């Protein structure tokens, strides 16, 4: 399975994501610059964290219009797995690939620390290697990680089982403690915590590796069924 790590001006977690795939997962991966016009040759697409375009206007709002994003949206609509982490999640929200928006943390301060998460849905292509209700530790590093959606959207997320991760301690004020969601089709996931920073015990936790293992497992399963 070949992965693309999209690099925007201001991305600062692209090396972490690249390492997670190359060393943690053992699969081929390329960094793809934001000016590229196609990611059609890749099986999975990863949008890393950072401060794309300096987070001017709103986090992810300018990156959403980068040339590469038209192809990212196209591939997502074709069913390819797309994972956005932190700023990548914000970009997916701005691009309309996921519902909702991000606000400043409730404390109005940047938060950088390990976070305890609850696996709210283990039956997705991103979480199949976890057990339902499993508690995991994955670090966060964000100033605008307070997930918000209106009540109608929240009801849809709950009805369609799109809430994938929640915070055990809702430290940033996110609605219903939401830390990660998927789209209705289940092939696009956004999350504020950084699984790429939790792929080896030397980093303090390897709980994030199962996300990438789940993506690979789902791809292999679908690849076998279509060949």
- Dihedral Cα 144, 146, 150, 152, nearest 10 deg: 120
Neighbours of 84 (CB within 10 A): 28
Q: Is 194 a catalytic residue?
A: yes
Number of helices (H), then strands (E), in the chain: 5, 11
DSSP per-residue string spanning 143-199? SS-EEE--HHHHHHHHHTT-EEEEESS-TT--GGGEEEEE-TTSSEEEESS-GGGSS
Q: Is 86 a catalytic residue?
A: yes
- Name the catalytic one among 94, 129, 144, 196: 196
For 94, the 3-state DSSP assignment is helix
Q: Is 196 a catalytic residue?
A: yes
- Name the catalytic one among 129, 144, 149, 194: 194
The DSSP H or E segment spanning 223 is helix 209-225
- Name the catalytic one among 27, 36, 86, 142: 86
Q: Which residues pair with 32 in a beta bridge?
A: 6
Residues catalogued as catalytic:
86, 194, 196
């Amino acid at each position: 399975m070949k992965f693309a790590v999209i690099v925007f001006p201001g991305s600062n977690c692209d090396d972490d994501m690249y390492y997670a795939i190359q060393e943690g997962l053992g699969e081929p991966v390329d960094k793809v610059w934001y000016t590229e016009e196609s990611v059609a040759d890749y099986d999975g697409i990863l949008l890393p964290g950072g401060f794309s375009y300096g987070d001017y206007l709103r986090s992810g709002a300018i990156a959403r219009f980068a040339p590469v994003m038209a192809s990212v949206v196209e591939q997502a609509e074709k069913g390819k797995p797309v994972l956005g982490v932190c700023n990548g999640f914000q970009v997916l929200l701005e691009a309309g690939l996921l519902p909702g928006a991000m606000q400043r943390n409730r404390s109005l301060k940047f938060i950088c620390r390990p976070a305890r998460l609850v696996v709210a849905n283990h039956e997705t292509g991103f979480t199949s290697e976890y057990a339902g209700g499993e508690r995991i530790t994955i670090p966060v590093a964000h100033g605008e990680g307070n997930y918000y959606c209106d009540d109608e959207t929240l009801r849809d997320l709950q009805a369609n089982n799109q809430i994938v991760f929640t915070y055990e301690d809702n430290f940033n004020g996110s609605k219903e403690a939401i830390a990660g969601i998927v789209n209705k089709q289940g092939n696009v996931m956004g999350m504020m915590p950084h699984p790429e920073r939790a792929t080896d015990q030397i980093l303090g936790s390897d709980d994030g590796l199962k996300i990438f293992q789940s993506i690979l497992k789902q791809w292999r399963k679908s690849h076998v069924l279509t060949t």
